[in-house]
Amino acid sequence: MKFGLQVGYWGAQPPAGQRELVAAAEECGFDAVFTAEAWGSDAYTPLAWLGADTQRIRLGTSVLQLSARTPTACAMAALTLDHLSGGRHIVGLGVSGPQVVEGWYGRPFAKPLARTREYVDIMRQVWAREAPVASPGPHYPLPYTGPGSTGLGKNLKSIVHPLRRDIPIFLGAEGPKNIALTAEIADGWLPLFFTPRMADTYNEWLDEGFARPGARRTRDDFEVCATAQIYLTDDRASVLAGLKPVTALYMGGMGSEDTNFHAEVYRRMGYGELVDEVTALFRGGRKEEAAAAIPDEVISESTLIGDADSVREQIRTWEAAGVTTLLVTAGSAQQIRDIATLAN
């Protein structure tokens, strides 16, 4: 099992100590470091800044929001960072949700799978440099000839020759159709709230994508980088209690009451009635009650908690479920060093 460090996106202010965390991750043999974005800090700027101090560790995004950039703009940023890092970049993409896409970026959310397929195709055209980039659309037509166009748009080829013509693309996907699409067109999957109990279901969705004509990867060379917190502690109860408020937020407070993709993940895990209860409590302003309603086992399914031997056994379970990398957060360099010992 490989480990990756998720430094996430900023809160109200830039977080302190991230350079030290990334340095410790590289020193301890972590495979990758990932940044994220929501509706504040972007993912690329801190990734480039943090990556400047590194020599070996891969530099990924988990995830870039499709609507934040046109596909050619994203491809430009990716090929630039890939050059600067000596070929260590991973492009992690996700569609986000309608509240962010339409409320923050001012773009329509409809057809997320079709948009993803078109987006990825254009990026790969940019990096291939086999011909001027062209797309019939309908989501990202190149050149643009729609309302307001001058008619002067020209198909162009990147001035810069990419260091790698095949920069890896991972997709953050939660639904069965999106996961199948990921297996078909991407190089890796970035699942959130992964649970080994659902491995057979995940594999069914992935296998659908691997079986499609023209699929890029097979099970043998496809990466699954699952977000999973690791806590080396004897105080399991305190960890579970501390995670319940954020679990209630994702389960009951993200998106809108009718459109919460994270809640749908929990429904597929068999927690439909709990999702309804937590959503009603959270959106009714009773956040503490929403957190208290979360059973311990909901968190335990997606979190590794215990002493070193116990966590090593849990890691083996996740590995058997198809996970190739555990993407963790850490509050200190020592925590990273402790996690790194679990790979032995």
Phi, psi angle pair for 232, to nearest 5°: -90, 100
The letter for the amino acid at 250 is Y
Residue among 167, 186, 68 nearest 126 (CA): 167
Residue 135 DSSP label: B
First-residue to last-residue Cα distance in the chain: 10
**Predicted confidence pLDDT, tens digits, the chain (344 residues):** 999 999 999 999 999 999 999 999 999 999 999 999 999 999 999 999 999 999 999 999 999 999 999 999 999 999 999 999 999 999 999 999 999 999 999 999 999 999 999 999 999 999 999 999 999 999 999 999 999 999 999 999 999 999 999 999 999 999 999 999 999 999 999 999 999 999 999 999 999 999 999 999 999 999 999 999 999 999 999 999 999 999 999 999 988 878 888 999 999 999 999 999 999 999 999 999 999 999 999 999 999 999 999 999 999 999 999 999 999 999 999 999 999 999 86
Segments making up each domain of the chain, as ranges: 2-229+308-343, 234-306
CA distance 90 to 81: 10
Residue 96 tokens read as: 């986000």
CA distance 185 to 176: 14
Rg (CA), the chain: 20
pLDDT at 28: 98
Alpha helix segments (H runs only) across the chain: 18-27, 44-51, 71-84, 98-103, 112-128, 176-185, 199-210, 236-248, 261-268, 272-283, 287-292, 296-300, 308-320, 333-340
Q: What is the DSSP string of 193-260?
A: S--GGGHHHHHHHHHHHHTSTT-S--GGG-EEEEE-EEEE-S-HHHHHHHHHHHHHIIIIISS-SS--
CA distance 80 to 87: 10
Residue among 172, 174, 193 nearest 300 (CA): 193
Predicted model pTM: 0.95
Helix, strand, or coil (residue 92): strand
Angle CA 273–274–279, to nearest 5? 105
pLDDT at 8: 96
pLDDT at 250: 92
Residue 312 tokens read as: 């090593």
pLDDT at 261: 86
**What residues contact 226, with CB distance under 8 A and at least 6 apart?**
190, 191, 194, 318, 323, 325, 326, 327
Residue among 30, 91, 92 nearest 57 (CA): 30
Residue carrying structure tokens 């020193």 = 27
pLDDT at 256: 81
Residue among 206, 213, 162, 204 nearest 187 (CA): 206
Select 2-229+308-343's CATH number: 2.60.120.380, 3.20.20.30, 3.10.20.740, 1.10.3720.10.
3.20.20.30
pLDDT at 321: 97
**What residues contact 125, with CB distance under 8 A and at least 6 apart?**
131, 133, 134, 135
CA distance 227 to 323: 10
pLDDT at 341: 96
pLDDT at 344: 67
